[in-house]
C-alpha cells in the first residue's frame, strides 16, 4: 500500500507534580466533582407532535436539501485545500496523495496556514478507484481568514467493468466545516454516514444509505435506516425510494418515516403517534447516486 500523505503537529506534554510536604509525600488530589443525578435517568412525558404529516415531510425535505453530504464533496475539497499551499507547506503535490509530510504547523507562500494531522491515500486504475482520508484532525485557514476544519474520516472504493456493471462503498464520519463554502459545509456538519451501491449492465444503479447527520447550527438531525433509492429497480430492488428515515428536532424526539418503494409511507411521532401518510422527495438520494456511481 502506498504511504499516506500527512502533516503533523507535535504536541508537548506538561507534567505538573504536586508540591509535597518536604518529606516526599505528594499533595492530595481531590476527587472530581460530579452532579448528583440519582440512580435513574429522569423520565420525560411525550410532548405533542410539533406538526402533522405534511409538516413533517416539509421539515424532512428541508433537512435533506443541504444536499446529503457525500464523500466526493469532501475529497474534492480536501485536495483543493492541500494543493493551495506550496511545495514546503504542506508539501510537494506528489506526496499529498501518497506520501508522508511532517510539519509543526506552517504558513505557505500562498497565504494558507496548515496545522494538525492528516493521512490520505489514493489509487486510480482502469477499472477501479479508491481514496481515503484515514485520519483527519486538522485545520486550514485561507488568506482571507476562512477556516476549513476536519475531525474525522471519509473514504470511497468503486469498481466497474467495460460492460457497465459497477459496485461501490463509501463513508463519511466526523465533523467537517468550511466557512468559505456553502450550505452544510459552511454551517458545519456532524456526520456518521455509510453508503453502498451498484449497477448491472442494463440499469442506472442504486444507492443505500445508513447513519445520521446534523448541522452544527442546531437544525434538525436526520437518521437513515437502510434508505434505498433504485430509480430503475436495478439489482432486484423495489423501484423508487424505500426504507426508513428519522428526523430529530431540538427537543430530542424523533419523527419516523417508513417508506414503500414509491417514497411514501406512514409518519409516526415519538414511535407512538401516527400522524398520517406522506411522501419524501427522492432528489437528494438521486444526487448521492449520481455523485458516487464510479462509471
Q: Is residue 214 part of a domain?
A: yes
Q: Is residue 16 part of a domain?
A: no
Q: Is residue 119 part of a domain?
A: yes
Q: Is residue 114 part of a domain?
A: yes
Place of cell 511545495: 87
Per residue in 93-141, pLDDT tens? Answer: 666 666 555 556 889 999 999 998 888 888 888 888 888 887 788 899 9
Structural domain tally of the chain?
A: 1
Domain that holds residue 182: 53-292
Q: Is residue 74 part of a domain?
A: yes
Q: Is residue 38 part of a domain?
A: no
The span from the CA of 247 to the CA of 50, in Å, is 12
Q: Is residue 209 part of a domain?
A: yes
Q: Are 276 and 267 in contact (CB under 8 A)?
A: yes
Q: Is residue 82 part of a domain?
A: yes
H or E segment and range at residue 95: helix 93-96
| Closest CA relative to residue 83, chosen from 140, 8, 145 | 140
Place of cell 434505498: 228
Out of 37-46, 112-121, 161-170, least confident range:
37-46
The span from the CA of 155 to the CA of 131, in Å, is 6
Per residue in 70-103, pLDDT tens? Answer: 788 899 999 899 889 988 888 776 666 665 555 5
Amino acid at each position: 500500500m502506498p504511504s499516506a500523505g500527512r502533516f503533523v503537529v507535535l504536541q508537548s506534554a506538561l507534567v505538573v507534580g504536586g508540591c509535597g510536604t518536604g518529606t516526599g509525600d505528594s499533595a492530595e488530589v481531590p476527587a472530581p466533582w460530579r452532579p448528583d443525578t440519582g440512580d435513574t435517568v429522569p423520565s420525560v412525558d411525550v410532548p405533542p407532535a410539533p406538526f402533522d404529516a405534511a409538516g413533517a415531510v416539509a421539515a424532512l425535505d428541508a433537512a435533506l436539501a443541504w444536499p446529503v453530504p457525500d464523500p466526493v464533496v469532501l475529497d474534492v475539497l480536501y485536495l483543493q485545500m492541500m494543493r493551495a499551499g506550496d511545495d514546503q507547506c504542506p508539501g510537494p503535490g506528489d506526496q499529498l496523495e501518497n506520501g508522508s509530510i511532517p510539519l509543526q504547523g506552517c504558513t505557505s507562500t500562498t497565504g494558507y496556514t496548515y496545522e494538525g494531522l492528516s493521512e490520505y491515500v489514493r489509487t486510480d486504475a482502469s477499472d477501479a478507484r479508491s481514496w481515503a482520508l484515514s485520519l483527519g484532525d486538522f485545520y486550514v485557514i485561507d488568506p482571507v481568514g476562512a477556516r476549513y476544519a476536519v475531525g474525522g474520516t471519509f473514504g470511497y472504493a468503486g469498481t466497474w467493468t467495460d460492460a457497465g456493471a459497477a459496485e461501490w462503498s463509501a463513508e463519511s464520519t466526523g465533523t467537517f466545516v468550511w466557512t468559505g463554502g456553502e450550505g452544510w459545509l459552511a454551517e458545519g456538519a456532524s456526520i456518521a454516514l455509510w453508503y453502498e451501491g451498484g449497477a448491472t449492465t442494463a440499469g442506472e444503479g442504486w444507492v443505500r444509505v445508513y447513519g445520521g447527520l446534523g448541522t452544527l447550527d442546531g437544525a434538525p438531525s436526520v437518521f437513515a435506516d437502510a434508505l434505498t433509492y433504485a430509480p430503475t429497480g436495478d439489482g432486484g430492488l423495489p423501484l423508487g425510494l424505500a426504507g426508513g428515515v428519522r428526523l430529530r428536532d431540538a427537543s430530542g424526539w424523533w419523527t419516523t418515516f417508513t417508506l414503500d418503494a414509491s417514497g411514501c409511507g406512514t409518519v409516526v411521532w415519538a414511535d407512538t403517534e401516527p400522524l398520517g401518510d406522506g411522501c419524501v422527495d427522492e432528489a437528494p438520494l438521486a444526487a448521492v447516486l449520481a455523485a458516487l456511481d464510479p462509471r
